[in-house]
Chain A
Amino acid sequence: MKDLIYKVRNSEFLTFNESLKVKVTLVMIFLLFFASLTVPISIFEDISLSLRIVVPSVFFVLFVSTFILLSFDKSRIAMHLSIYTFLGLTVYYVDGSGQLYGYFLFFITLTVIIFYQDITTYILYGGILTGYGVYYIQVNESLMIDNGYSLSETGPVIYQTILISFFLVYLVQFILTDSINDNLNTDYLKTKKINERYRSYIFRYLSDIEDRENMTPIKDNSHFQECVRDVSTFIANKSTHSNTNIDIHEVVDFYFFLHKQNINDIIDRNDLSPQVKKYATQFQKYLIYGINDLDTLLFKGIFYYQKGIDNKVNRYNTHFDEIFSNKTNRILGLVMMYLFLTNEITQIDQWGRIQKILTHQEVKTLFKSKEMRQILSFEDINFFLKNENFFKKFL
């Protein structure tokens, strides 16, 4: 239980599958609690004997099956089973007991489906349940009439309208959440790609500087290697793993050896032991300056105390529509951007060096490309194309 609460509290760090597993477990706890309170009482309702035996038995089988599936990491099938269980209970109560009671259960079951936050599941099961609810109220209209009230005849319509509205509002929520998250996710991925490229530029410059200044790369620096060996040995000896028969010195030596090798070749070689291949595969993420996990963390550490650019307003907006409200500023922005692109090194040349400055024609192609819609509007691009010769002549 403690573990479950911990997982809910840190749910943002869970993968989809882990998160789904937690959700199914929670639903099963709710279900157990709910059924243990309601099933015994419903036995006294006007329900046939066979139903009184069949329903709790089926419930029990579904319940146990769901937990078995969960323990085998089949969270998705477990989710479907838990929904079936709730759907079954809803139909059982609606048919067997009070209509108002059953009507409320439609909302509970919809809530369970919402809880899983899966739009397809919601549309499918939620749609079927809502449809069933509307149909049931329609065919049992006489039972749903609010006798004695001013709305006696309209009662069923209100029941139906609220149920449909509830379903639709959550459908809107699903679509809205998905659309916002998708946009943010795309933005995140694109920026991450750009960051990876920037990191590769930094390493290229680093390599150029090392060559020019005749410096030893840090991975080849014997003092650095020695220091890594000493500190690693110290940590390994203090750890609970100190009794293992792995020699940390050998591990460190192998780590630096890998910097001079093509790791994929090592992994593909048949004459090497599985242990060697395992270490090579694991170290692949931690090679120095290799666009990998280690350098991601290295830059996170380096950037921790840096402040970045000074803009606070519109800090992350790059589209001209968002950062400029008048045409004069847009033109100035466009001119400065063009100037930068045609005068500064921004790309890798055909020889793999960061040397390339874009030509007017290349900037024109870039401005006309689909990707530039992230920055410029059609209006900006039209201004550029219309005054192309001016840009070319004076900038």
Chain B
Amino acid sequence: MLNTIFKESSFIDQQINRLELKHLRKKTIFVSAILIALITPTLLVLYAAEAPFRDILVYFFLFIFVLGINGIFIFYKHLLPNIYLSMYITTIGLYLVAFGLILDIQSPSIFTVLFLAYAIISLYQEVKVSILNNIILLISGGIFLSISPIILENANSFTPSAFFMLFILVVFVALLSVTSFILIKRKNYIYRQVVDVKEEEYKYNETILEMQAAYRKKTFDYESYYHITDKFTDEISETIGISNVFKERLKIIKDIPKLSDEKLLNQYPELRRNDLEELKQLELSKHKKIVYIAFKAAQLSDLDSDHKEFLFEKKNESINHRTDDFMVKVVATTTLYLMLRIDKPFAEKLTHDKIMSIFSDNDFYHLLDGEIYQIMKDNESYLKNLDLSKLDYEVKK
């Protein structure tokens, strides 16, 4: 899916990562809330176990430390965009609390606090943290069960063997690992689908604007937009009775396509990098973001999006529907291939090699019938040498 839109997979990866970070920040807030809720019960258990006051304080400060780290990463997201560090600290901190409780209290009842720690960390649904979570639980659980049989010795009527307890632990971790694996895969799939469709949105929009310009033989006059906006801000500033604070910004916006970021930051010393990124959203010739937003806004008024359909309930658009006849798939795939190879009023033709490179992309490949793809792959010389000179759009006779 990474490559379905364009070749820069690392760029798409970055966008998926941004989406992931945005949601991890939300999950961190939830984890922090659970940690806050756990402080009092933990301290009460320690108090009931007659733990020294100094030890209770240590646990308290460990919680505060983890929460403080989470808070810093949540509130200073511009300075600390990489929230992964906060997750690792939380994971280790939480397990430290769990280990401490097991060792301090040494009671069978407290052993399952490891399961609770595992459950809290699994809230992140992030692959590295999930692996870390499984490893810590398996190793620590195994160690506690084999080195400290004291934990098990005290069941009143029946003492299960360490083997069975270990077996239960392995079943527990195995089931939840598969759960996490499936959840993480699905989450990544959704992220990629969303990024995919949003990238398409920009490109569709760009194609429309290009076709509109071609049809009307008129290009988008962004200079007049700046000029009219400048006049408007003059008027409104004068009416309100303030100096025109917009002028300087419009000047920077106009300079954005001409100068690099570094040069802009040097030329306008008061301009910060964050401000520059915001002004890029308003730049009309190169970045065009506000144009896309406006065009999208115009579609919202009568867009029917009430129909609820879930990503996993639908079958992707493809030429590989199981129910379709093979010959139908052959004709559809051939049409697609040839449509890509010819010039169209809205897109230039692609070479055979480029098309086969798209078709072989893992995600596009799944949308085609495997046998048809293989025949095309095995007979590339035939396809390359097709005479397509007469296929371009022709004028009616």
- Across the interface, which residues of A come within 8 angstroms of B186, CB to CB? 11-12, 181
Tell me the B145-179 residues at the A interface (CB within 8 Å): 152, 154-160, 164-165, 167-168, 171-172, 174-176, 178-179
- Residues of B196-210 whose CB lies within 8 A of A: 197-208
A339 near B229 with CB under 8 A, answer yes
Q: Contact at A193–B303, with CB atoms within 8 Å?
A: yes
CA distance A151 to B113 in the complex (A): 15
Residues of A within 8 A of B178 (CB): 8, 26, 115
* Shortest distance between the CB of A395 and any CB in chain B (Å): 6
| B298 and A185 within 8 A (CB) | no
CB-CB under 8 A for A100 and B312, given A218-B393, A314-B277, A336-B290: no
Quote the shortest CB–CB distance from A238 to chain B (angstroms).
5
B139 within 8 A of A: no
The 0/1 profile, CB within 8 Å of B marked 1, for residues 132-159 of chain A is 0000000000111111111100111011
Determine if B270 is an interface residue (Cβ-Cβ < 8 Å): no
The reply to whether A209 and B168 contact each other, CB–CB distance below 8 Å, is no
Stretch from A50-58, A62-70, A288-296 at the B interface: A288-296
Indicate if B82 sits at the interface (CB-CB under 8 A). Answer: no
CB-CB < 8 A to B167: which residues of A? Answer: 37
Which residues in B have their C-beta under 8 angstroms from that of A71? none
**Looking at the complex, which of A72-80, A123-131, A247-255, A263-271 is the stretch in contact with chain B?**
A247-255
What 0/1 pattern do residues 202 to 237 of A give for CB contact below 8 A with B? 100110111011111010010110011011101110
Could you tell me if B123 and A184 are in contact, using CB atoms closer than 8 angstroms?
no
* Contact flag A99-B214 (CB < 8 Å), given A11-B186, A286-B319: no
Report the count of interface residues on A (CB-CB < 8 A). 172
Chain B proximity of A223: nearest CB distance (Å): 4
A84 lies within 8 A of chain B by Cβ: no
Asked if A372 is at the interface (CB within 8 A of a chain B CB), the reply is yes
Residue A239 interfacial (CB < 8 Å) = yes
- A2 close to chain B: CB less than 8 A: no
- Chain B residues with CB under 8 Å of A315's CB are 15, 18, 198
In the bound complex, do residue A154 and residue B311 qualify as a contact, i.e. CB atoms below 8 Å apart? no
* Cβ of A329 under 8 Å from chain B: yes
User: Most A CB atoms within 10 A — which of B188, B278, B307, B315?
Assistant: B278
Contact B156 A297 (CB under 8 A): no
Q: Mark B210-244, 1 if CB is under 8 A from A, else 0.
A: 01101100001000010011011101100100000
Say which residue of A154, A213, A292, A345 sits within 8 Å of B48 (CB atoms). Answer: A154
A98 within 8 Å of B by Cβ? Answer: yes
Q: Is the CB of B396 within 8 A of A149?
A: no
Q: Give the one of A15, A26, A194, A346 with max B CB within 10 A.
A: A194
How distant is the Cα of A265 from the Cα of B105 in the complex, in angstroms? 77
Known: A108-B168, A198-B205, A218-B342. A341 touches B297 (CB 8 A): yes
* Binary contact readout B29-60 vs A (1 if CB under 8 angstroms, 0 otherwise): 01000100010010001001110000000000
Q: Given A180-B26, A231-B338, A303-B199, decide whether A19 and B331 contact each other with a Cβ distance below 8 A.
A: no
Residues from chain B with a CB closer than 8 A to the CB of A394 are 228, 231-232, 235
What's the least CB distance linking B204 to chain A, in Å? 4
Residues of B near A286 (CB, < 8 A) are: 319, 328, 331-332, 335
* Chain B contact surface mostly: helix
Is A371 in contact with chain B by the CB < 8 A criterion? yes
Q: When the two chains form their complex, are residues B105 and A151 in contact, meaning their CB atoms are under 8 A apart? A: yes
Please name all residues of chain B whose beta carbon is closer than 8 Å to the beta carbon of A234 when the two chains form the complex.
Answer: 379, 382
Interface assignment of B304: CB less than 8 Å from any CB of chain A: yes
Q: Which of A149, A170, A238 contacts B379 (CB 8 A)?
A: A238
> Are B339 and A187 in contact, with the CB atoms below 8 A?
no
Tell whether A278 is near chain B: CB-to-CB under 8 Å: yes
Chain B CB within 10 A, most for which of A117, A146, A213, A358: A146
Q: Is the CB of B211 within 8 A of A374?
A: no
Q: Which of B323-371 contact A (CB under 8 A)?
A: 323-328, 330-340, 342, 344-347, 350, 354-355, 358, 361, 364, 366-367, 371
Q: In this complex, what residue of B is CB-closest to A149?
A: B107
> Is A390 interfacial (CB-CB < 8 Å)?
yes
Q: Which of B194, B304, B324, B345 contacts A209 (CB 8 A)?
A: B345
Residues on the B chain within 8 Å of A390, using CB: 232, 235-236, 239
State whether B330 touches A227 (Cβ < 8 A).
Answer: no
- On chain A, the residues within 8 Å of B15 by CB distance are 315-316
B4-45 contact mask (Cβ, 8 Å, vs A): 1 or 0: 111110010011001100010011001000100010010001
Q: How far is the CB of A366 from chain B (nearest CB, A)?
A: 5
Tell me the A283-308 residues at the B interface (CB within 8 Å).
Answer: 283, 285-286, 288, 292-294, 296-308
Contacts of A323 in B (CB 8 A): 278, 281, 289
A305 engages B7 (CB within 8 Å):
yes
Q: Nearest chain A CB to B307's CB is how many angstroms away? A: 8
A206-B160 CB under 8 A given contacts A146-B109, A298-B340, A335-B229? no
- Interface residue A382 (Cβ < 8 Å from any Cβ of B): no
Which residues in A have their C-beta under 8 angstroms from that of B271?
Answer: none
Q: Is the C-beta of B140 less than 8 angstroms from some C-beta in chain A?
A: no
A227 touching B391 by the CB < 8 A rule? yes
Query: Which residues of chain A are within 8 angstroms of B128 by Cβ–Cβ distance?
Result: none
Instruction: Decide if A308 touches B199 in the complex (CB within 8 Å).
Output: yes
CA distance A279 to B309 in the complex (A): 27
Residues from chain A with a CB closer than 8 A to the CB of B327 are: 232, 236, 241, 244, 246, 248, 251
CB contacts under 8 Å to A, within B278-294, are 278-282, 284, 286-294
Q: Is A92 an interface residue (CB 8 A)?
A: no
B345 proximity list for chain A (CB < 8 A): 205-206, 209-210
Which residue of chain B is the closest to A101 with respect to CB atoms? B160
- Residue A361 at the chain B interface, CB threshold 8 Å: no
Shortest C-beta distance, B278 to chain A (Å), equals 5
Contacts of A371 in B (CB 8 A): 300-301, 303
Whether, in the assembled complex, A359 has its beta carbon less than 8 Å from a beta carbon of chain B, the answer is no
Expressed in whole angstroms, the Cα–Cα distance for A313 and B21 within the complex equals 13
| A189: min CB distance to chain B, Å | 6
Question: Are B211 and A205 within 8 A (Cβ)?
Answer: yes
Cβ 8 A contact of B293, one of A193, A292, A318: A318
Contact A282 to B49, CB < 8 A, known contacts A296-B317, A375-B297: no
B160 nearest CB neighbor, chain A only = A101
A-chain residues with CB within 8 Å of residue B6 when the two chains form the complex: 303-308
- Whether the Cβ atoms of A195 and B200 lie closer than 8 Å is yes
Determine whether B263 belongs to the interface, using a CB cutoff of 8 Å to chain A. no
Measured CA separation A301–B367 after assembly (Å): 12
Let me know if A304 and B5 touch, CB within 8 A: yes
B125 CB to nearest A CB, Å = 7
Tell me which residues across on chain B come within 8 A of A375, comparing CB atoms: 293, 296-297, 300
Query: Among the listed B287, B305, B308, which residue makes an inter-chain contact with A309, where contact means beta carbons less than 8 Å apart?
Result: B287
Q: Which of A14, A159, A312, A365 contacts B301 (CB 8 A)?
A: A365
Instruction: Assess whether A358 is in contact with B298, with CB atoms less than 8 Å apart.
Output: yes
What would 7 A/B residue contacts be, using CB atoms closer than 8 Å? A111-B171, A188-B194, A206-B346, A224-B338, A238-B375, A299-B200, A332-B282
A-B residue pairs, 3 tightest by C-beta: A98-B158, A12-B189, A346-B298
Q: Given contacts A97-B158, A218-B339, list 5 more A-B pairs with CB under 8 A.
A: A19-B312, A98-B157, A156-B109, A323-B289, A341-B294
